[in-house]
Amino acid sequence: MLNMKNISRIYRSDTIQTHALRDFNLEVKEGEFVAVTGPSGSGKSTFLNVAGLLDSFDEGSYELDGVNIKGLNDDELSRLRNEKIGFIFQNYNLIPDFNLFDNIDMPLRYRGFNAAERKRRITHALEQVGLASRANYLPSQLSGGQQQRVAIARALAGEPKILLADEPTGNLDSLMARQVMELLHSLNEAGSTIIMVTHDPEQARAVGRNVQVIDGQITDHSVYAPSHDNTSIVVSV
């Protein structure tokens, strides 16, 4: 699904060079749920941005769902982002004066779906995150956890190959964080491939596979036993 080999990403300014990623190797298989942990500034977000085609890389090779990323132009990259990738941000990044429907509509517009198909997908995505009845709400009328679920619905609506989440629960209190995690787990069970950056060791432990980024490199490939199927977390959506 995702295959990075010897990726390096160097941020250059006039005076300093930052090796945000160096010799970064990672392979993620279809259906995996990967938790990425590591100290602040270690390169987790940079990795996710490169993986999500929001950022370029300087060296190495990157293959996403069988497509070699090197040398693609903006149109091709945008199309891959649109079709294969769903982003979930720490800050939700919903457009405040769009209602939920229009927020989720956004990626579908660039896909060129007709109105009926968009509506079908939006309704379905809202159902998946348990907010079907609130399509006309504005983001500000929802709690933080609900907003993050809308963001997840937006990521899901395009039926992406892979979900990329950068500290999706970073802004949420523990109860709402649990709800969001539960949603991600159920999506993973339903077949979604997920890569999630997190600072919460407990969250990481609950996930099928953990990798640690230190100083721009993967340093730990420890695989934990999946524990989400016998989870004790009670979720009310």
Partner 1 sequence: MEMFNYYIKLSVRNLIRNRLFFILMISTLAVGVGVFLANIAIIKSMSADPIPHKSDKIFNVSLNVWPLDNSDAELLEIMRYDDAMHILKNDIATHTMVHYQSQVYTRDINSKNLTRHQAVVRATTPEFFPLTDAPFAFGGVWQQDYAKQIVIGDTLNQQVFGGGNSVGKVLEIDGKPFEIVGVLKPWELKPLFYNASFGQKFAKTDDIYAPIETALDSEWAIALRSMSSERINSVSDNRGKNGFFIQAFVQLENQQQKNAMQEYIDNYSQYRKAQGEFLRANDNRLLDVNQWLTHQKVVDERMLAFALASSLFLAVCIFNASSLLLARYHSARFETGLRRAVGARIKDVFYQGVVESMLIGLCCAVLTLIFGWLFLQISITLFPALQQTSDIDITLILMGIGIALITSFISMLYPLIRSCRTPLSTTLK
Ligand X SMILES: Nc1ncnc2c1ncn2[C@@H]1O[C@H](COP(=O)(O)OP(=O)(O)OP(=O)(O)O)[C@@H](O)[C@H]1O
Q: By CB neighbour count within 10 A (0-12 exposed, 13-18 middle, 19+ buried), where does 70 fall?
A: exposed
54 scored as a contact of partner 1 (CB under 8 A):
yes
210 scored as a contact of ligand X (CB under 6 A):
no
Contact stretch for partner 1 (CB under 8 A) within 80-88, 127-135, 205-213, 224-232: 80-88
To partner 1, the closest distance from the beta carbon of 55 in angstroms equals: 4
Among 4, 20, 122, 163, binds ligand X (CB under 6 A): 20
14 scored as a contact of partner 1 (CB under 8 A):
no
Is 204:35 a contact under the CB 8 Å cutoff?
yes
Buried-exposed string 193-231: b where 16+ CB fall within 10 A, e elsewhere: bbbbbbebeebbebbbbbbbbeebbbeeeeeeebebeee
Q: What is the sign of the dihedral through the CA atoms of 202, 206, 228 and 43?
A: positive
* String marking each residue 217-236 x if it binds ligand X according to CB under 6 A: --------------------
To Mg ion, the closest distance from the beta carbon of 46 in angstroms equals: 8
Q: By CB neighbour count within 10 A (0-12 exposed, 13-18 middle, 19+ buried), where does 137 fall?
A: middle
Q: How many residues bind partner 1 (CB under 8 A)?
A: 31
To Mg ion, the closest distance from the beta carbon of 197 in angstroms equals: 6
> Rule CB under 6 A: which residues touch ligand X?
11, 18, 20, 38, 40-46
